[in-house]
Amino acid sequence: MATIDYTDRRRMRLDVEFHFAAAHRLPRYQGPCLRMHGHNYRFFVGLEGEVDPATGMIADFGEIKQVVNEKVLARADHQALNDFLENPTAENIARWLWETLAPHLAGLAEVRLFEIPDSCVTYRGPGAAP
């Protein structure tokens, strides 16, 4: 059996993956995305911090999921993103995710949003964990 040094408080990172389906149109884009269409979005919330020696965790996965469900998914899943974002590009959605979650998730380091399976935007907002 391996021995774990519970006093080792080096920084670690955890990522939690989420999904939602939503429609949007890009009012400032001259092309097919000017028309209403939908995506199955996938995004990761990345937190960084020191491992708490008492719990052995940076953060509780369940608490992260609860915050994201309440603050993001309840508002965005199966919705028209233009109803609350004027220009819902992937970049602006990622920034909205950050601004929505940062007050509720200590150690938030980045949000990575996939609008299509092979392309993503990564946002590290003000106050991001170093």
Domain contains 67: yes
| pLDDT of 5 over the 80 cut | no
CATH number, position 58 = 3.30.479.10
63 is catalytic: no
| pLDDT of 7 over the 70 cut | no
| pLDDT of 4 over the 80 cut | no
Q: What is the rounded distance in angstroms from the CA atom of residue 104 to the CA atom of residue 17? A: 17
Which letter, b or e, does each residue of 17-34 get, where b requires 16 or more Cβ atoms within 10 Å of its Cβ?
Answer: ebebebebebeeeeeeee
Q: Using an 8 Å Cβ cutoff, are 88 and 19 in contact?
A: no
- 65-110 tens-digit pLDDT: 999 999 999 999 999 999 999 999 999 999 999 999 999 999 999 9
Task: State the residue for tokens 């006093």.
Answer: 7
Given the residues 33, 39, 104, 120, select the one marked as catalytic. 33
Residue 16 tokens read as 């939690």
120 is catalytic: no
Burial of 129 (0-12, 13-18, 19+ CB in 10 A): middle
Calculate ∠ Cα 32-95-103, nearest 5°.
150
Domain contains 84: yes
Given the residues 37, 50, 78, 99, select the one marked as catalytic. 78
Domain contains 129: no
Q: What is the pLDDT of residue 11?
A: 86
Q: Using an 8 Å Cβ cutoff, are 41 and 24 in contact?
A: no
Domain contains 64: yes
CB atoms within 10 A of CB 90: 20
Count of the separate structural domains present in the chain: 1
Q: Is 105 helix (H, G, I), strand (E, B) or coil?
A: coil
- 22-35 tens-digit pLDDT: 999 999 999 999 99
CB within 8 Å of 54: residues ≥ 6 apart: none
The reported pTM is 0.91
Q: What is the pLDDT of residue 114?
A: 98
Domain contains 130: no
Domain contains 49: yes
The one-letter amino acid code at 73 reads L
> Domain of 106?
11-123
